[in-house]
Every structure is written in structure tokens, then in C-alpha cells.
Structure 1
Amino acid sequence: MSRSPENAPGTTSVDVVIVGAGFAGLSAADRLTSMGVSVLILEGRDRVGGRVLSGEVAGVKVDLGGTWVSRRHTAVRDLAEKVGCTTVPQFAEGRNTLWFAGKRRTYKGSIPKLSPVALVNMARVQMALDKLAATIDVDTPWESPRAAEFDAVSLDEWLDRKRARASTRALMTVVCKVEFGCQPSDVSLLHVLRTIRAFGGVDHLLDVENGMQEERYAETTQEIAIRLADRLGNRVITGAPVRRIAQDGDGVTIHTDSTRIEATCAIVTTATEHRARIEFEPALSEQAQGLTHTWGLGKLSKAYVAYQRPFWRDAGLSGEGLTDTGTVFITFDVSPDPAGPGILMAFCDPRVFDGHAPDVRRAQVVRQLADLYGPEAADPIDYIDHCWGTDSFAAGGPNPVVAPYASLRYASALTEPHGRIHWAGTETAGEWTGSMNGAVLTGQRAAERVAELLRVEEKAMA
């Protein structure tokens, strides 16, 4: 179990201090402790998990944050297996539902087939994105061919140049909202291409079967973090936001409101934007400071609506729906059993969702679900939502919104160590950046690098 700061000693000494108890921090601690390295994790929230969070609707545990895993996400799957968490397939049987231009229709597959002309346009844009993404180095995208050209335009501007139709733009807008929590005009083409390359192509990014949305965890993803933290025991301290990290040639000193920790090295796993909340001595480089100001997190909200049973399946519907207007822009069926309860997950646009009272938010979501799935959807038995943009500790959506010009100028500071301080977190990943798998990989990578540094210093002192 984790401990609170009031139970921690005033001054502690360990080999490595880890800031953040999300998947990156917990993975780093797990790897280091397996090598006999002493660690302490400091987490500002009163819980572990970071951007994974469990909730409950109609007696069923659901993911309010990160949810899905691909079969190719071996790092997080191995971690989950170690702590006894099991995957269940994402339901995708039947026809998907589309609300577009005020009309409802159904379709099969990941991409709506509105008309032959629209389909050709969408396929052309997708092929162009995949072709350009194949040229991107996910670890050092700023060194890729044509990187300066791609970083100088937003995805929206590029779609203009490609003469994308309204249906193609609508799909790209959904992708941006889900992956970055923003609009296509807010994010650079280079950052989008890097993400597509990191996720294995547009198809893998969009698909359920054999794609990024293939499976989820029956116990919820936060349960993985909770069980891993339990294994680490009193090495995890929650409710202890780090205020200051000072370092010299001998080590680092970390200050919270009530604790001082001395260590040889530190691993900081907070999102790039949240690095700015820590005072560093010596200060971060100008490039690293620029990163914290330009790689801010997007905004994304999520709602779950429960019914007595998944009635939409009777009509041969999958529960996967897309809309081009209103609060809800995509839905999925996450019902635990055909007998019920029936549960629809809805991603919501924070611009017209966050800030409203809970009853207003609920009414907005239910109204759109009734448009998609009929009058039965207007009578739910339970509801829950979470607005990540108004999160009380560290507001923000799934990934950074990297505007034009910000990658070439600042992205190299993502992983460049600051003296004895190393960085981890899904933003710092190359392959699988922006996913839970990427977070685990970066935690393990940082642990290996720090362990090697400790070995070198130990040999030098012998």
C-alpha cells in the first residue's frame, strides 16, 4: 500500500527518487527494485495511476481515463499479467452508427462510406498520411526529411491543401479530439505524422479488430497501477507534490511540502506541461523551459451511460457511433454482459461540455445517444463522467497539443537528461508515444539508464 507524506520521515535517502506514480513511474520503480536499487515514488495526487482512473456506473467499474490496448502493446500487457489483470475484447459486432449533416445512417468498418466520391477522398488522404508518416523517425522526428516543412503547417492547413471533403475532415477531427484533445487547426502536421508512425499507421490507430481499440481490462487500467503500487509497498508516497529539485555533482535533493529526499538520481515522469510546476536548481535549459510552455496537454472528457441491457444490439448495432455535431463525438459499447447492464462510453467535446453542471452534462449526452440509438437511449439507469480539463491536480487530456514550429524548436528536450534528472512518461516515447504502452516503455528505459549510471559511479568509487 502507498503511504501518505505525514507518515513518511522528514528526510529520506535512496538511490533514485521517481516523481509521478503513473505507468511510467511505477514501471521504472518496478524495474529498478528488481535490480536491487532503492527507490521512492512521490505522487502529487492522493491516488496512483496518473491519467488512468477508475469509476463506477450501474455497479460496473469503468475507465475514466486511458482504456484500450492493442495486441502489439506487449510492455503494458506483460505488466498487467504480472499483477493478474485480464483483457476483454472491445465489442464491435454489427453495424456502426453515424450522425452526419443532421442525418442518421449505419455502416460497417472503421470508416463511414458516405458516397463513392467521399470514400475516394478519404482513402486518398489516408494514403497520403501513411506515406508521409513512413518518413518520420519517431525518436527524433525533428531530424526527419522535410521535418521543417511538416512542422510549419497545422493538420488543418494540410487538409486544405489536399482538398479534403467535409466527411474526411470530420473523421480527422475525431482523431484529433481523441488522440490530442484538440482541433486539427491546433496541432502541427509533423506531430500528427509522428503519432501515426508511432501507432503503426492510420488503420491501426482507428481500428478495433487488430487495432488500438482491440481490448480493454476487465478490472480497469487503474487497477493495474494500484496492484503494482501495492507490490512496491511503502516505496510509494501519495499526496506529496514535488515542489523543488536541486542537484550538484554528488546527487539530487527533492523537496515536498513535508519531506526532503536525498538521492543519487531522479526520474521525473510528469507530463511536459507539468514540469513547469517544479522548481529546478540549476534551472532547466531555455529549450527545456520552452518545451513546458509549448507542449501543453489537450482537453478531453468522457461519459458513461448505463441501461438495463444493451438494447442497441437487438437492432444489430455495435454501439460504436460517430457524430459531427454537439457534445458527443464518438461512442463505444463497453457492456460487461449481453444480459446487462448495457453501457455506452461517450467521448465528449470539452468546449461544450466542461463547466456545465452535472445534470446539464448528463442531459446533453443522453439527448445525443437518443439521436444515435433511438428513444430507449433517453431512459438510462445510471451515469458518470469525468472532465480531464478541469482535473483538480493536473488538468489535461491524453497527450500534448504540439502546435506548428514547436517540435523543431523544443522536442529534443523531451528526453535529454538535465544533469542527474532523467525524464519518462508517454510523451517521451518514440514508438507508442501517447499510449499506456509507451508510458511503460519509457519508465523501463529510464530505469535502465539510471541503473547504468549508478553502476558506473559505484565502480569509480571502488
Structure 2
Amino acid sequence: MNTTGTGEPIVIVGAGIAGMTAAFRLQQAGHPVRILEAEDRAGGRMRTVERRGYHMDLAAILLIENYTQMLNLVRDLGIEDTTLRTNNVVGIRRDGRVHHVRANKPTDLKSSGLLPWSSVPAMRRLQSDLNKFGSRLRWDSDMGEAASLDTETAAAYAERRLDKDFRDYVVDPMSAMFFNSPPDLSVVNFLFSMPAVNSEWFNFHDRVDTLTTALAARLPVETGAEVTLVEETSDGVRVHWSRAGEPDHVEEAAAAVVALPGPIAARLCPGMAPASRTYLENVPYVPDIHVYFGVDNKPSETATCVLFPTREHPDLGVITFNHNFAPGRAPQGHGLLTSYYRYPWAIRHWDSDDDKVVELTHEVHRQAWPELARHIEAHQDMAYVQRWKNAVILRKPGDYARLREFSRGLDPRSRIQLAGDYLAFSATNSSLVTGERAAVRVREVVTAGSVSVGRG
């Protein structure tokens, strides 16, 4: 067994956006840090893969200008020149036609023809609710204040406060952005997503992992390092990890931040209070399969993404036109498109091989958007399938109340702090914020020299 470390560093488990943000903020404050990442590269779900000149952002693709904390991080890294304001036109299919809405212009819902004029009162009621509840729906929140709103599904809210057209052609396709449908989704997710997209958008010129690559370049990241146990000791933390072909490693550290999906964090931290471990073990992630198509002739569609109500197709949720987000996603004159499904489709086809998934996606395109299907098949240059087992968290009514109780049960004095999307709204910026929050708590514990005895 190889024992390393002096007890001084703070170990970060996981080199996704939450973990690396925590490490960067701790490093800024003068603390030595060390990141252990099981994969062969850093980035987590904020990674980009290149094939034949196409840059495929694997999970995070849509970035909005009210991601204040992310923009602050970009500034602190000195990489502002890698970003630009981007197209924020969203398309929604209805009756075989794409209706275009600018994300920061909700009045486009009226002028686009997507909704009838009879839906104007529903729009006003929604805007009134957003004005009333907006202070409870913040990126820097642990969602505790939102728990009081978490009493019904998005479908039930639409029935109670909106109207049938609004339910079918706004609430339903917005739910597809969570790979879900309104009857399964907490109203909090829908309400949170409305002001979130009511904003200008930004992105990185060529690839979304510009941010995580910049972080990794400034931090000591140990890749291929699979952590097996994180335990608190009398004066610090002990981290056990392994790598193929090497003796097992044990590192003594001043503290640790575990920035991994909830069920994995529960397995690595057996000293956590039983109620906290049970919550983490049951964080309701849903899987996602999405399919990229590179085409040698850019489609004429101007939207960044087109949403599909269930009435238009029961399985297809969103097609993104990645080349419309920012330049550099596809070679000059080419296009890059990605098809995303509601999660039951991903469950049904999880074990299908990639060729079968591509074939099935072509068939779905023929059903949902025949003209685009013909274009993709005539000009296909590349296809790539990405699977995420823990894609997003399926929040049903009551889940945010349970999250509030879980958050209140965590010990802020513990030398093991958590970070990740399960601690807030399931989005990139929220994950980043949980990393910053964990860094603050770790700094306080290490600086005070305190040791938590009763975790949770």
C-alpha cells in the first residue's frame, strides 16, 4: 500500500464543473488542492468530443447570461475572449410547422402563431406567478425556498393556472428539456425554466469544454484515479483510491469535497448519517441517449433548438442545431444536429448498439419532421451516440421538500463536504454554485481547525 500526502492538501473527488470550481476557489484562497478523477480526462458532463472536425458538447450546451456565477468564473480565469453572445431563437413544432420564439421575448409566444389569442390570459397568469415566486427560484439557492411551491406536477399547474394550448405547446415541450413529461415533473422545474430561458444566451466560440479545460490547466488533476473510500479522521480526512497497474493509494488530507453523483457519493462516504446516505442512494437520476449528426450541407433552420410536444411525437424531445449556438461546432458550411429523447425511450433502447440507435433515430426523424429527415440522410457525414446513465434528476412533487430536509441535515462543520447537481436545480450553473458553496464551508472548517464528530 502506498501512502502519500502530508495532510495539508484539500482533496477534491471528481473533476466535473462542481469539483473543479471548488478546487479553483480553494486554490485562489491559498489552499493546496489535489483532484482525483476516475475518467481519463477532466470535465465531467461539461466535455466536448471531436470527430471529423465536428465539436460535440456532450451534455452542457445551452448557457444563459443569468448564469452569473459561471460568467464570474470565466472572468476570474481570464478567458472572456473565448465567449460570445449567441442566437437564442427556440423553435416549437405544432401541426408540422416550426414556430419561432426568442428566449428573451416571451411576447413572441403571441406573435409566432404557436398559441391562439385566447391564451393571452394564461400568459398573464404565468407572468404574475413568475413575478411573485421569482425570488425563490435562484441559481445560488439550495432550493429550500422553492420547496413551498413543490406541491403539484407541471401538468396539474397547467390545468389549474393556464389553458390547454399552453399546456400542450409550452409546458409539455419545456418538460422535454428535462427528458421528461409534465405529469412526472414538479412544477418547480417548469417555473424555474421559464425565467431561466427568458434571457440572452452566451456560449464558447468552439466548444463548451473551454471552461473545464481552462480549469484543468490551472489545477493538479490526477486522472484514472478511482476513489473507493473517503473517511473523516480525528484531524483530517483519509482518501483511498486505486489506478490500474498500481498499488492502492491512501492520502491524508485536511478536508475533502466529494463532487460526484449522489448514489456514488453515498457509497464513498459510509460515515455519513444514515438518513443522508439513504437520500443520496435514491437521488432519482434518469438516463439519456442522444444522437449527433454531422451533415455536409447546413440546414436552413435558424433556431438553436426545436422542441417537440408529445402531440408532435411521443418520444422525441428536442433537436438542437449546434452550429447555430456558436461557430466552431461544425466545419464551414456544414451542420451539427443532436436529437434528444424523453427518458422512457432511453430506458427502452439502453442496451441497443450504436448503429441500431442511429437507425431508430432516422425513423423517428421521418415521423416527426420528414423534411429534416431527408436532409440529414442525404447529407450525413458523421453520426455519434452519447449515453449518460445519470443525465438529469427527475424531480417529482415533494422532491424539493426532501432536498431541503437533506440539506438541513448536512453538517457544515464536517471535513467532508458535498457538491453536485443533486444539491440544487439540476443544471450546469447550479452544479458550479454547489462547488463554490462547498469550498466556502471547507475553508471555514480548515481555517478554524474544527473537526466534526456527529456527521449529519
**TM-score interval, normalised by the smaller of the two chains:** 0.7 to 0.9
Question: Among residues 186, 189, 208, which one is paired with 1:188 in the alignment?
Answer: 186
Aligned residues: 416
Match of 1:274 in 2: 264
In the alignment, is residue 342 of structure 1 matched against residue 335 of structure 2? yes
In the alignment, is residue 308 of structure 1 matched against residue 296 of structure 2? yes
Match of 1:162 in 2: 161
Question: Among residues 193, 196, 199, which one is paired with 1:205 in the alignment?
Answer: 196
**C-alpha RMSD over aligned residues:** 3.2
Question: Among residues 85, 97, 113, which one is paired with 1:104 in the alignment?
Answer: 97
Question: CA 1:123/1:260 → structure 2, altered by over 3 Å: closer, same or farther?
Answer: same
Partner AA of 1:423 in structure 2: L
Partner AA of 2:196 in structure 1: L
Match of 1:10 in 2: 3
Match of 1:171 in 2: 170
Question: CA 1:381/1:141 → structure 2, altered by over 3 Å: closer, same or farther?
Answer: closer
DSSP-derived class of the 1:114 partner: coil
Partner AA of 2:294 in structure 1: A
Question: Among residues 401, 405, 413, which one is paired with 2:406 in the alignment?
Answer: 413
Question: CA 1:295/1:306 → structure 2, altered by over 3 Å: closer, same or farther?
Answer: same
Q: Is the 8 A contact 1:58 1:341 kept in 2?
A: no
Q: Is the 8 A contact 1:104 1:372 kept in 2?
A: no
Partner AA of 2:9 in structure 1: D
For residues 131-183 of structure 1, the C-alpha deviation after alignment (integer angstroms, 9 at most, x for no partner) is: 45336365364456xx55x43422223333336415523432332232x3333
Partner AA of 2:390 in structure 1: G
DSSP-derived class of the 1:381 partner: strand
DSSP-derived class of the 2:318 partner: strand
What fraction of aligned residue pairs are identical, expressed as a percent? 21
Structure 2 CA distance for aligned equivalents of residues 122 and 168 of structure 1:
10
Matches within 5 A, 1:40-439: 40-80=34-74, 82=77, 84=79, 86-91=82-87, 98-101=92-95, 103-110=96-103, 111=109, 113-117=113-117, 119-120=119-120, 123-124=123-124, 126-127=126-127, 129-131=129-131, 133-134=133-134, 136=136, 138=138, 139=141, 141-142=143-144, 147=147, 150-162=149-161, 164-178=163-177, 180-190=178-188, 192-193=190-191, 195-196=192-193, 202=194, 204-207=195-198, 210-211=199-200, 214-232=201-219, 235-257=220-242, 258-281=248-271, 283-286=272-275, 288-312=276-300, 317-318=302-303, 320-324=305-309, 325-335=313-323, 336=327, 339-353=332-346, 354-355=349-350, 356-367=352-363, 368=365, 370-371=369-370, 373=372, 375-379=374-378, 380-388=380-388, 395-398=389-392, 400-414=393-407, 416-417=410-411, 419-429=414-424, 433-439=425-431
Q: Is the 8 A contact 2:290 2:385 kept in 1?
A: yes
Match of 2:14 in 1: 20
Consecutive unaligned residues of structure 2, counting only runs of 5 or more, are: 104-108, 243-247, 451-456
Match of 1:392 in 2: none
Structure 1 CA distance for aligned equivalents of residues 304 and 443 of structure 2:
47
Structure 1 CA distance for aligned equivalents of residues 73 and 432 of structure 2:
8
Q: CA deviation at 1:63?
A: 0.3
Match of 2:453 in 1: none
Q: CA deviation at 1:411?
A: 2.4
Partner AA of 2:71 in structure 1: R
Question: CA 1:166/1:443 → structure 2, altered by over 3 Å: closer, same or farther?
Answer: same
DSSP-derived class of the 2:167 partner: helix
Question: CA 1:236/1:446 → structure 2, altered by over 3 Å: closer, same or farther?
Answer: same
Q: Is the 8 A contact 2:180 2:343 kept in 1?
A: no
Structure 1 CA distance for aligned equivalents of residues 145 and 429 of structure 2:
24
Q: Is the 8 A contact 2:99 2:113 kept in 1?
A: no
Of the structure 1 ranges 80-89 and 300-309, higher mean CA displacement relative to structure 2 is found in 80-89
Question: CA 1:414/1:220 → structure 2, altered by over 3 Å: closer, same or farther?
Answer: farther
Partner AA of 1:162 in structure 2: R
Q: Is the 8 A contact 1:91 1:333 kept in 2?
A: no
For residues 215-252 of structure 1, the C-alpha deviation after alignment (integer angstroms, 9 at most, x for no partner) is: 222342224223321222xx322222322222133111
Q: CA deviation at 1:74?
A: 3.7
Q: Is the 8 A contact 1:68 1:217 kept in 2?
A: no
Q: CA deviation at 1:22?
A: 0.9
Consecutive unaligned residues of structure 1, counting only runs of 5 or more, are: 1-7, 197-201, 389-394
Q: Is the 8 A contact 2:158 2:171 kept in 1?
A: no
Structure 1 CA distance for aligned equivalents of residues 4 and 430 of structure 2:
33
